[in-house]
Chain A
Amino acid sequence: MSARVILGVVLAGVLAAGEASAQGAPTAPQGRGAGAGGQGAGAAGRGRGTAAAPPVRRMPDGKPDLSGFYDSVHRGANYGIEEHAGSTLTPPGQGIVVDPPDGKLPLQEWAKEELKSRQTPARGYDDPTAHCIMAAGVPRGFYVPSPFFIMQTPTHIVVLFERMAWRHIPLDPKRKHLPDSIRLWQGDSVGHWEGDTLVVNSQNFNGKPWLNEVGEITSHALTVVERFTPVNANTIMYRATLTDPIVYTRPFTIEVQFNRDPNGEMLEVACHEDNQDLQHMKDVKDAGTGLEKK
């Protein structure tokens, strides 16, 4: 079955589940979700308070209902995951790395050099998103300053990123990942619930995405464990642990808070329509590599 067909089936299921959910009041007791805000003590533990917020929403089966339109408190991570000062051209960031405790990416030496290279103007062309390849990898879609919409059924999660394509996450702890030979921009994701936390394991990445506009790195060896913990009806704490032995000396973990906007709606983005930036950056790359503009 093609991915497009799968998505269509999932969306149909979501619509049906949404209707059912809307007709019935939540009956499941509030579980650990209301107390999960303790995780917010890290980098992203700021933003909306939780005292007056409604409790975690529930699906008919009692699982947390994560669905909805969200913006993340991205803390400038699209311009550097570590805490960094701003410049005329690059916004500052407060950092989203919660492990290692110093907030620094545990880059191997070769990766430090590659990162410096990617931050030269000539390498800006190499970021796939500059080419409008919006399957931007994991976890970039969750801290790009752009909203996303989570759709949920008992057996599937679909995340529609307004600018960063989509992800399909089957909820089946027995599901096996794809064969090692299949490599994907967004990886292959499998999710399951641990209490009120949605845990998603992803692998089979192709190593092509950049982690952000400044070129932070992952490779095809990347595996990601994401944890989505609802704090209340309008807030999710998101943690992602990235393990990539080719690029990093140890795993590291980021944390970002998602805020739901009940009135938010997705808008259309058609990146290929008039992407003039790519030619401009191609000119810079060609000049940097000694190639003449044709």
Chain B
Amino acid sequence: MTVNSQIPTPRFQTARRCTIGAAALAVLCLAAAPVLAHHSFAAEFDENKPIKLSGKVVEMRWSNPHAWIYLDVNNNGKTERWAFETGAANGLFRRGWRKEDLPAGTVLVIQGWQARNGTNTANAGSITFPDGRRLFAGSSNPNAERDK
């Protein structure tokens, strides 16, 4: 992961900015900023469909009301694209995330819960690099945050 150290630091992030260092690739933000959702997590995602997938980041879409990580996953030689919902963009920002933090091609392992409508969509509960280092997900499910 690369971090653009040229990005100016707004005043409001001094108390909330988590530690992201270019030398320390793992990002683990445990700040007390709230996890945000505008909808019922239980209504959209299925606790009986936990998933754990590994793949390459295609894009991290920095949008409202949630940011999304798009991952290409190899399923027996066939590439499937999955969309993982994370927390709200403003919540991620307060935790220290920046748009540049997750470039395309980064390999991730994401654990989460699949959407009830059966599409390749899931809520990201936790994200790790292949060597086990954890990347904070900013899940819209506050329980995922509580468990970290």
Say if A and B assemble together.
yes
Query: Which residues of A does B touch, CB under 8 Å?
Result: 71, 74, 79, 86-91, 121-125, 127, 129-130, 132, 134, 145-146, 162-163, 213-214, 261, 263-265, 267-278, 280-281, 283-284, 287, 293
A273 touches B141 (CB 8 A): no
B63 touches A89 (CB 8 A): no
Stretch at the interface among B21-29, B86-94, B97-105, B126-134: B86-94
A277 touches B39 (CB 8 A): yes
B39 touches A146 (CB 8 A): no
Say yes or no: A269-B65 contact (C-beta < 8 A), given A162-B90, A277-B44: yes
Picked from A146, A162, A214, A269, the residue with its CB within 8 Å of the CB of B40 is: A214
- Which secondary structure dominates chain A's binding surface? loop
Picked from B36, B117, B141, the residue with its CB within 8 Å of the CB of A146 is: B36
Q: Which residues from chain A contact B66 at a C-beta distance below 8 Å?
A: 274, 276-277
Query: Which residues of B does A touch, CB under 8 Å?
Result: 10-12, 14-15, 34-45, 47, 61, 63-66, 68, 83, 85, 88-90, 93-94, 113, 115-117, 119, 121, 141-143, 146
Q: Which residues from chain A contact B37 at a C-beta distance below 8 Å?
A: 213
B36 touches A276 (CB 8 A): no
Q: Which residues from chain A contact B141 at a C-beta distance below 8 Å?
A: 89
A-B contact pairs, 5 of them (CB 8 A): A91-B143, A145-B35, A145-B142, A146-B36, A276-B68
Say yes or no: A263-B12 contact (C-beta < 8 A), given A269-B64, A284-B117: yes
A287 touches B39 (CB 8 A): no
Q: Which residues from chain A contact B39 at a C-beta distance below 8 Å?
A: 124, 127, 129-130, 213, 277-278, 281
B115 touches A145 (CB 8 A): no
Say yes or no: A264-B143 contact (C-beta < 8 A), given A88-B47, A89-B42, A132-B38: no
Q: How far is the CA of A272 from the CA of B85 in the complex (A)?
A: 15
B38 touches A130 (CB 8 A): yes
With A134-B38, A146-B36 already in contact, 14 other A-B pairs whose C-beta atoms are closer than 8 Å: A87-B143, A88-B113, A89-B42, A89-B141, A89-B143, A129-B38, A263-B12, A267-B93, A269-B64, A273-B64, A275-B64, A276-B83, A280-B121, A283-B116
Q: Which residues from chain B contact A122 at a C-beta distance below 8 Å?
A: 43
Picked from B34, B42, B65, B113, the residue with its CB within 8 Å of the CB of A121 is: B42
Q: Which residues from chain A contact B64 at a C-beta distance below 8 Å?
A: 269-275
Q: Which residues from chain A contact B35 at a C-beta distance below 8 Å?
A: 145
B38 touches A124 (CB 8 A): no
Q: How far is the CA of A123 from the CA of B116 in the complex (A)?
A: 13
Q: How far is the CB of B9 from chain A (nearest CB, A)?
A: 13
B142 touches A263 (CB 8 A): no
Q: How far is the CA of A71 from the CA of B35 in the complex (A)?
A: 12
Q: How far is the CA of A275 from the CA of B113 in the complex (A)?
A: 18
Q: Which residues from chain B contact A130 at a C-beta distance below 8 Å?
A: 38-40, 43
In the complex, the chain A residue whose C-beta lies closest to that of B45 is A89
Q: Which residues from chain A contact B116 at a C-beta distance below 8 Å?
A: 121, 280, 283-284
Say yes or no: A124-B34 contact (C-beta < 8 A), given A89-B45, A263-B11, A274-B65: no
Q: Which residues from chain B contact A214 at a C-beta distance below 8 Å?
A: 40
A267 touches B94 (CB 8 A): yes
Q: How far is the CB of B138 from chain A (nearest CB, A)?
A: 13
Say yes or no: A263-B15 contact (C-beta < 8 A), given A89-B45, A271-B64: yes
Q: How far is the CB of B86 from chain A (nearest CB, A)?
A: 12
